[in-house]
Chains A and B, each alone.
Chain A
Amino acid sequence: MNPALSFENLSQRYGRLEALHELNLTVPRGSLYALLGPNGAGKTTAIHVLMNLLAPSEGSAAALGVDSTRLGPAELAQIGYVSENQKLPGWMTVEQLLAFCKPLYRTWDDDLCRKLMRGFDLAPERKVKSLSRGMKLKAAMVTALAFHPRLLILDEPFSGLDVVVRDELVRGMLELADQDEWTLFISSHDLEEIENLVDRVGFLNEGKLLLSEELDQLRARLCEVEVTLPTDAHIPDEWPAAWLFPQASRNVIRFTDSDYNEGASAALVARIFPEATDSSVTPLSLRSIFITLARQSAGAAAKEV
């Protein structure tokens, strides 16, 4: 079975600036995937190529098994797309917007549409241009969900929204995820909502994909380790490459283990710190993982320079 979406050696240049560098990524069908990265990492560019909003400089992207440059109405009728940059027709009321969208989709579900409208507390008579940013995103979300998309692509949907609206959007999507066999591909640098929503993550920085794996696996692999020593701590000469960002404070050494394995990691700690009186392992939140990867990436880039 074709993956829900894929990127193959995708590079994208704007003049001399390379926004994406040989991106290779496959998202299986049914996944809830988050593409993470700081601002300017290339997330939006990747999505623009995927949605055929941009022609790739090199390589290719495919959605629902179809090359992005060949995406036609048949494929777009199965793809929901919401972006913070998308311009909705401001002169329409919400009701008119939905009425305009409805005939474009054979699978349009009026009941679902009404349910989403209620859930998002959207007033049908309001003009789109008079809606707040959050309400506009909700309206866009309704137009992207009401036809039961097989693939939902969200480009920075939470950017600049307050906590309540974010929560409503996430709940709306989770509710649908339970009902439909769909794939969610979301780009964001807002991690708290993502953590509850997705099962796989990719991390993109400066146009390069640093990792792509299941969230649980990532959480299990990246842990913060704290080792307590009887005397003042010094970082030893022998230091495993997977132990990142060591910090020594009095008799405690802290570091991030980027390749944590319960048995093997404990043995390694015991070998490196034979005099250790105590050690503890704390799983990292997605936010901490994000920061760790960003710092690691920045450090690698500095070394290259």
Chain B
Amino acid sequence: MGIAIHIFKKDLRRLWPLLVILFAYIGILTAVLTTGLRSPDPNSIEWTSFVQSSGLLGTGSLWILTAVVIVFLIHEEPPSGTSAFWLTRPIPRGSLLAAKAGFIFLFLVAVPAAANLYVLSRYGLEANRIGPSLAKMLSAYLIFIGINVALAVLTSSLQAFVIACLGTMLLVPLGAKFLRIDVPMNLPFWIAKILIPGTLTGVVCLIVILHQYLTRRTRRSVTILVAGLILTVPSANWAENTASMPLSPSSGGATIGLAVMTAPEGSVRYVGPERKAKQRIVGALDLVKVPDDAEVWLTSMSSQLDFPGGNALGYKNHTVSVYGDPLAGLLPGFTGASTPKATTLVDLLAASDEVYREWGSRPGTYSGVAQLQTYRYVTKGSLPLKSGEHLETGSDLVEVSKVTLEQDDLYVTMSARSLDGVNLSFYIFNRKLRQVLGSDSAVSGSSRERQLILPGVSVSYWNQYLKLNMKHNPYAFTVDEQWLADAEVLVAERFDAGRFSRTFQIRDFRMSENTLEQWQQRSRKKN
């Protein structure tokens, strides 16, 4: 213990100038993040606007600074190479490890975590969200620290460390590209998304660090790190992409089902850039029993068309089709809340011209697996549609910045701020008349995120706007000054509510049964 403290003090003497810069940086970052909290738009304060827009302050710079401290700290007594002074001195490796770990936890983890905690509390984050947020931040940050320490212990100079970082950055995406695991897995979302990739990376880094300090077999440590990271990446992808979780809250006993509303209805010739001509086979699909407050996204479709004799045509389509309209649940009975769409055309297959010519008219059995993501909407509150009105719920803040009428045109701008991945939606409605400007055209805008001090938890800034010509509006009711006088903004939070898949089968499926022209003719007749 005495030697560990001795080394710790020595490292502090060596690195205090860097620590001063790091802490000053964290201090300024904290000040920027907590200045002007009453306004959801950080650009309303000139100096923070300048600092943020200049790109001087960001998590990236903090990470680089932290990585530099780590490299200098570890390379004070590098466990690789043969020329380090400490290698031939009576320094117990356990003491050395303890000194380095203590330094990292005290100055590189505890200080930024405390500053981050302060920022979160200033934002008004609810007590029950602080624990999970902190855990999320620390797990992400410790992975970053772990990888940096692992690379630092395998190198003995800053240049070698930078090269190792670049190599890792190349290696990890390569691993992700060539190694994929497509085995479905039923795990709670937080385990799949955070715990598995974080733990795997952490364990790999810990093994490398301990192995290198205890054995100083650098080649073997590098092998462990490379193999570990390559295997961790697809594991993380696997966990993230195929994990499902129970639908929450319960959909009331109803099971969301996938219904094939029609036989495949069209064959659309599709020519994309730098792609071979393909026949696009589409079908109309619908989801039934989607809860009123939910929205379900079809995120991918895996298909196979099996022909008699063993031939098959496979296809995977990453697409987004949205089912359901949460307004029906948020504002039940209001006029303007659109009803769920009857059908949505989904790409079922794609075939090259050559394949299509040979197999297009032959019957087969079509099997499809649809991956679906559910979102639920919960009302956070409402505020009058008047300039300067605020709504503050916990750490989230919404402000109506400006409402102006110019002749018949209505302009509304709003700003909002939310924390920790909270997704906000905005709807303008009139409570007395029970009318709402529908979700499709209501309020559009953009949002941008900025990380706080540690990674993992971000603050989102929203800029929302609405432009509406009141004389020629798309609604079945009149929007005028009187309507606006009683108008309010409904703020809803959208959150992930689970993933699931549905399978379906179509017998006697022929790709060529309906051409694009025929499908268009049928549509015209219907209309």
Contact = CB atoms under 8 A, between A and B. Distances in A.
B13 to A, nearest CB: 8
Interface in A62-107: 72-74, 76-77, 79, 81, 83, 85-89, 91, 96, 100-101, 103-105
Interface centre among B14, B76, B85 (most CB of A within 10 A): B85
B3 A103 contact: yes
Contacts of A51: 87-88
B87 to A, nearest CB: 6
Contacts of B14: 89, 91
A21 interface: no
A81 B83 contact: no
A55 interface: yes
A53 B87 contact: yes
B90 A105 contact: yes
B285 to A, nearest CB: 61
Contact of B91 (A79, A81, A91, A104): A104
A268 interface: no
A48 interface: yes
Interface in B74-93: 76, 82-85, 87-92
B88 A81 contact: yes
Interface in B50-77: 76
A48 B87 CA distance: 11
Contacts of B91: 73, 76, 104
B90 A85 contact: no
B431 interface: no
B10 interface: yes
Contacts of B13: 96
A140 to B, nearest CB: 8
B2 interface: yes
A72 B217 CA distance: 16
Q: How big is the B interface, by class?
A: 10 to 19
B88 A76 contact: yes
Nearest to A153: B88
A87 B88 contact: no
A77 B90 contact: yes
B6 interface: yes
B90 A88 contact: no
A54 B84 CA distance: 13
B88 A48 contact: no
A88 B85 contact: yes
Interface string B1-44: 01100100010011000000000000000000000000000000
A104 B89 contact: yes
Contact of B76 (A77, A89, A101, A105): A89
A41 B2 CA distance: 41
Given A89-B76, A103-B3, A76 B85 contact: no
A76 B90 contact: yes
A107 to B, nearest CB: 11
Contacts of B3: 103-104
Given A73-B90, A76-B88, A89-B76, A103 B2 contact: yes
Interface in A132-188: none
B90 A53 contact: no
Nearest to A101: B89
A131 to B, nearest CB: 14
B357 to A, nearest CB: 58
Contact of A86 (B10, B76, B83): B83
A53 B85 contact: no
A53 B88 contact: yes
A105 B2 CA distance: 12
A86 B78 CA distance: 12
Contacts of B90: 72-74, 76-77, 104-105
Given A100-B10, A103-B2, A103-B6, A79 B88 contact: yes
Nearest to A97: B85
From A48, A55, A100, name the one whose CB has the most chain B CB atoms within 10 angstroms. Answer: A100
A113 to B, nearest CB: 15
Contacts of B89: 76, 101, 104
Nearest to A106: B90
Given A89-B76, A100-B10, A104-B3, A73 B92 contact: yes
B83 A87 contact: yes
A76 B3 CA distance: 15
B85 A54 contact: no
A32 B13 CA distance: 39
Contacts of A48: 82
B406 to A, nearest CB: 67
Contact of B85 (A52, A77, A86): A86
Contacts of A53: 82, 87-88
Contacts of A101: 89
Given A48-B82, A100-B10, A55 B88 contact: no
Nearest to A44: B82
Nearest to B2: A103
B82 A54 contact: yes
A77 B92 CA distance: 11
Nearest to A84: B83
Contact of A89 (B2, B85, B87): B85
Nearest to B72: A91
A87 B82 contact: no
Nearest to B9: A100
Contact of B83 (A74, A85, A91, A100): A85
Interface centre among B10, B76, B90, B92 (most CB of A within 10 A): B90
A103 B91 CA distance: 10
List the 4 shortest-distance A-B pairs measured between CB atoms, nearest first: A73-B90, A77-B90, A81-B88, A53-B82
Given A87-B85, A105-B90, 20 more contacts: A53-B88, A54-B82, A72-B90, A72-B92, A73-B91, A77-B90, A81-B88, A83-B83, A85-B83, A86-B83, A86-B84, A86-B88, A87-B84, A88-B85, A89-B14, A89-B76, A100-B6, A103-B2, A103-B6, A104-B89
30 contacts: A48-B82, A51-B87, A53-B88, A54-B82, A55-B217, A72-B90, A72-B92, A73-B91, A73-B92, A76-B88, A76-B89, A76-B90, A76-B91, A77-B90, A83-B83, A85-B82, A85-B83, A86-B83, A87-B83, A88-B85, A89-B14, A91-B14, A96-B13, A100-B10, A103-B2, A103-B6, A104-B3, A104-B6, A104-B89, A104-B91
Interface of A: 48, 51-55, 72-74, 76-77, 79, 81, 83, 85-89, 91, 96, 100-101, 103-105
